[in-house]
Structure 1
Amino acid sequence: MPLPHHLCSKLQNAFRARHHQVSFDHTTQNLGILSVLLRNGFLISLTRGTTQSSDPIAFHSTPEAQRRIWATLKYRDDRPVLNEMELISMPSKRIFMTMNEIRAIVSGRRAQFIRPLRMGEIAIIKTKDKENEWLEAREALRLNTPGEVLCRAR
């Protein structure tokens, strides 16, 4: 299973190289993180496809290993909307936060060793709730759902 740092670095490098689209392995984790980025305006669209193209019809007839998620990157005034993605929780040290700690980073205070979120910045949280497994920190706060803080994007 690919780790979140692979997605973060690949997406950040694609923005820096001014790519229009980039593909990722079709996993639940990648789909969850990318959908949070899409909901928060960092991406234009997400499409399922194959290793060659973003063709949703061909997606169903290809083998599992060749299925991909294609993300269309968003630029404003020829500058990338996503400037930086930083991994917070790592395989060697996973960071779980309670509701009070999530409230602290959202409202501008430090929690554990994590800096508070700045204007236009989001934190992606993986929860144990299967219905809302991948959330942005403010959504997790609104739904009163603690979890693991995977990464932050600005």
Structure 2
Amino acid sequence: MAPLYHLCSQIQNSFKWQLRRIAVPNSKPNRAICQILYDEGFVSSVALGDETGPFPANAPVFTGLATSPSPQPTSTPSSSSSATPNRKSALVTPPPNPARLRIWLDLKYKHSRPVLSRMSVVSKPSRRVYASLRELQAVAAARRAGPLLKGQEVGQITILDTPYGIIELKEALKQEVGGEVLCIAV
């Protein structure tokens, strides 16, 4: 699994260098965080691809292992005299190598200025930061909720890991659940 701080620093540095498209490592947490950034309007698109670029929009997305093709009906005895059987070719494209999959993000700018100015990690492997529902309500109300949780600024999103998955602060308040504070984006 790619570390969260790698994702945050790569996205923040790419915005500083005003890159249009970047590829980040593919993992379930990274996909969830990138989807939240897309839903909140910090990036203009999210696509799955490999190191050469995103997959085309009409290409099949492989989520699991390739299945074997269904057995084709055998030719009838009367058609056995033909040299080639009248069967369709059963080509199965193998799924891409999971180690080479990337998440491609199209970064968003407004008047040549980046939409995302800062993305930082709150909870680290050496210091996990958990917040209860009451603390999250204080953060949403722009009040400090302890030494590590500051109040939310205007335009800031807080991304949490909860029993319902990786969600944004607004969704956690709707679900009435606390969790680990992963990162913030402004």
Residue in 1 that maps onto 2:174: 142
More RCO (CA 8 Å, sep 6+)? 2
Give unmatched runs, 5+ long, in structure 2.
63-94
Contact in 2 for aligned 1:49/1:58 (Cα 8 Å): no
What amino acid is aligned across from residue 174 of structure 2 in structure 1? R
Assess if the C-alpha contact under 8 Å between 1:89 and 1:151 holds in 2.
yes
Runs of 4+ in 1 over 4 A off after TM superposition: none
- Higher helix proportion: 1
Residue 158 of structure 2 corresponds to residue 123 of structure 1 = yes
Q: How far off its partner does 1:108 sit?
A: 1.2
Question: How much identity, in percent, do the aligned residues show?
Answer: 34
Contact 1:50 1:59 (C-alpha < 8 Å) held by counterparts: no
Q: Quick one: distance in 2 between partners of 1:97 and 1:119?
A: 20
Q: Which structure would you say has the larger Rg?
A: 2
**Which amino acid letter does the alignment assign opposite residue 150 of structure 1?**
L
What one-letter code is carried by the residue in structure 2 that aligns with 1:13? N
Superposition RMSD in Å: 1.2
Shift of 1:92: 0.4
Aligned residue among 110, 125, 131 for 1:76: 110
SS of corresponding position for 2:181: strand
CA–CA distance in structure 1, aligned partners of residues 116 and 24 of structure 2: 17
Q: Deviation of residue 104 (structure 1)?
A: 0.4
Structure 1: segments with no counterpart, 5+ residues: none
TM-score (norm 2): 0.78
